[in-house]
Amino acid sequence: MNVLELEDVSITYQNTKEAVKHVSFAVPEGRIVAIVGESGSGKSTLIRAAIGLLPTGGVISSGRILFGEKDLAAMTAEELRHVRGEGMAMIFQSAGDYLNPRRKVCDQYVETLRCHQKISKKEGYEAAKKMLATLKLPDTKHVMNAYPFQLSGGMKQRVAIAMAMSMQPKLLLADEPTSALDVTVQAQVVKQMMDLREKTGTAIVIVTHNMGVASRMADDIAVMKDGELKEFGTREQVIYHPVDDYTKKLLRVVPRLQGETDGE
């Protein structure tokens, strides 16, 4: 069964330019799909639409987005709220900015849990601490009692991932979750997301401009350019037998960059 299905989705900003043009693809249960493309290709817009939180001015001008079998647009506000956090969760690029700077991590974490589960504050606190520990965050008590601005970028990112994974959603949306992190933390975060899929069967849609991350994580790869879906296929198809010229170009860039770094 598909967790997420995009049918002929177009998105416009302020009635001017089309940021996403007639995109269709599906994400089956437990599958990892990477959306790659350069900045401005509409990939972030696409997953913001998938959770129903388009940036201001953005509207879905055609097509529909199905979560499970339900059309997001047809959901009531309360249904949508239940889906968010519980059914699908989102990790934003520089996720620390998506936490309230004036509330402690534990407050926001426990609040999130208690909005979806009937648990006491204490149970919520313990569950959150446990989840942070599985993400290998050192000194979880300190992290829990810190304000977001007291944590490093990598720590905040992992807190956000922990919060997103806590509800064991069917679908995890990740918008460049690793691009703000240094390389060692990047590898950890990628591994943790893959572990989540192993343990809970969560499907993941990850937006990245990093072909390396995409080829390491994804089962399927979607290639976007100028709002259009240029190519969609399994990792093997896209990486070893690309059809579209743009995909070929993208792939040519990756090894050359690595080659250059190796040479230094």
DSSP 159-194: HHHHHHHHT--SEEEEESTTTTS-HHHHHHHHHHHH
Quick note: the x/- pattern for another protein over 103-142, rule CB under 8 A, is x----x--xx--xx--------------------------
Q: Contact between 99 and another protein (CB under 8 A)?
A: yes
> How many Cβ atoms from other residues are within 10 Å of residue 50's Cβ?
23
Whole-number Å distance between alpha carbons of 146 and 133: 15
Q: Contact between 183 and another protein (CB under 8 A)?
A: no
- Binding piece for another protein, criterion CB under 8 A, among 7-15, 30-38, 79-87, 222-230: 79-87
Q: Which residue has the tokens 């198809």?
A: 237
Strand partners, 174: 91, 206
Of 100, 152, 168, 258, which lies in the binding site for another protein, with binding defined by CB under 8 A? 100
The distance of closest approach from Cβ of residue 78 to another protein in the complex, given in angstroms and rounded to an integer, is: 8
DSSP strand E in the chain: where? 2-13, 17-28, 32-36, 58-67, 70-71, 88-91, 171-175, 203-208, 220-225, 228-234
Residue 191: HSE in the Cβ half-sphere, 13 Å Cα cutoff = 9
User: Strands 32-36, 203-208: parallel, antiparallel or unpaired by DSSP?
Assistant: parallel
Q: Contact between 147 and another protein (CB under 8 A)?
A: yes
Of 7, 18, 86, 244, which lies in the binding site for another protein, with binding defined by CB under 8 A? 86
- Binding piece for another protein, criterion CB under 8 A, among 26-34, 145-153, 189-197, 251-259: 145-153
Whole-number Å distance between alpha carbons of 120 and 118: 7
Site for another protein in 26-55 (CB under 8 A): 51, 53
Q: Contact between 253 and another protein (CB under 8 A)?
A: no
Site for another protein in 52-71 (CB under 8 A): 53, 56
Helical (H) or strand (E) element with 116 = none
Which is closer to another protein, CB of 77 or CB of 183? 77
Which is closer to another protein, CB of 100 or CB of 152? 100
Paired tokens of 87: 């059914």
The distance of closest approach from Cβ of residue 175 to another protein in the complex, given in angstroms and rounded to an integer, is: 10
Of 150, 152, 168, 258, which lies in the binding site for another protein, with binding defined by CB under 8 A? 150
**Residues forming the site for another protein (CB under 8 A):** 51, 53, 56, 77, 81-86, 89-90, 92, 95, 97-103, 108, 111-112, 115-116, 147, 149-150, 160, 163-164
